[in-house]
Structure 1
Amino acid sequence: MSGWQHFAPLPPIWPPDRFEVRSARPIPDGGAADRYHFSRTAHEAAARLREVGLATQVQVVRIEDGTALFDLVAGVEVPLEHW
């Protein structure tokens, strides 16, 4: 049974996060930030937060360079094809 254990770290099973969806909600809920790898999933999360209307601020930021791709308050909505 020797050799079946190895101590090298395993590669991650999920792809790295590329987008962060931030939302601010009235107190007591406060704010939240969720991370996504796929642009379509992050876009859908932001759209649903906007539709529900519970968040006072919704923002999607590309983690790599900090670019705001969606910002409800500032009126920024970059088309999904350019995310």
Structure 2
Amino acid sequence: MRASPEFSSADRYHYAKNAHEAVLRLRDVGLVTQMQAIRIEDGAVLFDLASGAGLPADQW
């Protein structure tokens, strides 16, 4: 499912569920070789493709 085009990417990924789904899809289809998702509020690394680290969606 694609996000609605009337929202910017910042709006779409403001929600943890959408961001989590996006990083998993990008990883699974092989479109990226390096990617990190970092929570702006506290700088926590939520997902790091290179190291294999990733928190479950409910901890995002």
Bin the TM-score by the shorter chain: 0.7 to 0.9
Q: Which residue of 2 aligns with 1:20?
A: none
Paired residues in the alignment total 51
Cα RMSD after superposing both structures: 1.7
Q: With structure 1 as the length reference, what TM-score do the two structures score?
A: 0.55
Matches for 1:1-83 after TM superposition, within 5 Å? 35=10, 36-83=13-60
Q: Aligned partners of 2:21, 2:35: CA distance in 1, in Å? A: 12
TM-superposed CA distance for 1:54, in Å, is 2.0
Q: With structure 2 as the length reference, what TM-score do the two structures score?
A: 0.73
Secondary structure of the residue aligned to 2:35 is strand
CA contact (8 A) 1:49 1:58 kept: no
Segments ≥4 residues shifted beyond 6 Å: none
Structure (1 or 2) with the greater helix fraction: 2
Q: Which amino acid counterpart does residue 82 of structure 1 have in structure 2? A: Q
- Gap regions ≥5 residues in structure 1: 1-13, 15-33
- Gap regions ≥5 residues in structure 2: 1-6
Superimposed CA distance per residue, residues 26-68 of structure 1 (whole angstroms, 9 cap, x where no aligned partner): xxxxxxxx53210000001101110110211121110111111
Which one has the largest radius of gyration? 1
Q: Aligned partners of 2:59, 2:31: CA distance in 1, in Å? A: 27
